[in-house]
Amino acid sequence: MKKYDIAAYIWPAYTGHEKRTRIFWPDGEGEWQTVRNAAPKFEGHLLPRIPQLGYKDEAEPETMEEQIELASSHGVNVFIYDWYWYDRRPFLECCLDDGFLKAKNRDKMKFYLMWANHDANYTWDKRISEIQDTPVWLGSVDRVQFDTVCDRVIGKYFSQPNYYRIDGKPVFAVYDIDNLINGLGGVDQTRAALDAFREKAEKACGGLHLQLILWGERVHNFSGVDGEHLHSSEIAKILGFDSTTNYQYCHFVNIDRDYNEVQADVLGFWDQFASLGVKYFPHVSLGWDNNPRFNSFRWGIMKNNTPENIEKALRQAKAFADEHGVGLITVNSWNEWTEMSYLLPDNVYGTGYLDAIKRVFLD
């Protein structure tokens, strides 16, 4: 049987270890504070979602040992940790450093980093999330800070024995290409910075596999000159990225519909992404509803995302991977409770989503 790598994103905010999170979640348990206080906004709204494993601190090794066992026994063998750098220092590293990397069974699970280099705003603070576009920290960095980031991830993470590699090279994903290029001063400067990153990684650990998160038909004007617009796919080739994937369906399709309708559109996007000249790894999102983060109702709720329908999408991703000769499938996500897109068992579907992955990729 062909081996598939099923990689689930991890939002590392379910801990009180990171002191800077107190400005968003003052109770000292990270975003569990928001999950606990979620309430239905309309009749039939499936809130609150209650984790079957409990509201456990994910920066504790025992918590991650339990989750690693659950994931690996159901076919999830890679965690993609959202990784942050704000105000000249890392943010939310503790779930990875203190929880996952200190787990006794960490060898059962690979991991890699996705640099979530978007701006941080008040979306995370439910008390004032209605002004979500107000920035708290900027995600863009200049060349000095970029080089510092590269040195940190190479020295601290790429050397880990269970860091995920493709063709022997550690994988590093970039979330927001706009912020990367704007901070570094342009496309040429960004290409130079990424080339320098490769050279450092080559010397330290045998190379680098750069992955770009695609956002559908997102168009960029990086030169500042009218008419000089480029799609993310073109940027991926110009900047020398080795592969692409997605983070969430809501970034490239209308998700305010039945899951089966959404998935039908997603199939067309997979074909489009795969035709762009850079290797594409198919992505499956489990749902979308970020109402837990807001006091007022937020439009955009994916409906009918049952385990049965998720299983259909996973089988389609498997068939796509076979057709295109790739072995990695990304999933959103392992634990995005406040966006209602997670694999962890809850009070609505139990282990239904995990069981679907197991049926498709293990059984």
- Rounded to 5 degrees, φ, ψ at 108 are -80, -10
Cβ(358)–Cβ(74) below 8 Å: yes
Bridge-based pairing state of the strands 243-245 and 328-332? unpaired
Distance, C-alpha 304 to centroid of its chain: 22
Strand partners, 25: none
Global pTM reads: 0.96
* pLDDT at residue number 234: 81
Closest CA to 189 of 197, 178, 181, 198: 181
Contacts for 43 with CB less than 8 Å, ≥ 6 apart: none
* pLDDT at residue number 225: 43
Per residue in 48-86, pLDDT tens? Answer: 999 999 999 999 999 999 999 999 999 999 999 999 999
Per residue in 160-171, pLDDT tens? Answer: 999 999 999 999
Class level of CATH domain 5-361: alpha beta
Contacts for 356 with CB less than 8 Å, ≥ 6 apart: 307, 308, 310, 311, 314
Contacts for 41 with CB less than 8 Å, ≥ 6 apart: 47, 291, 297
Cβ(317)–Cβ(284) below 8 Å: yes
Helix (H, G, I), strand (E, B) or coil at 82: strand
Low-confidence ranges of the chain (pLDDT < 50): 219, 223-227
* pLDDT at residue number 216: 72
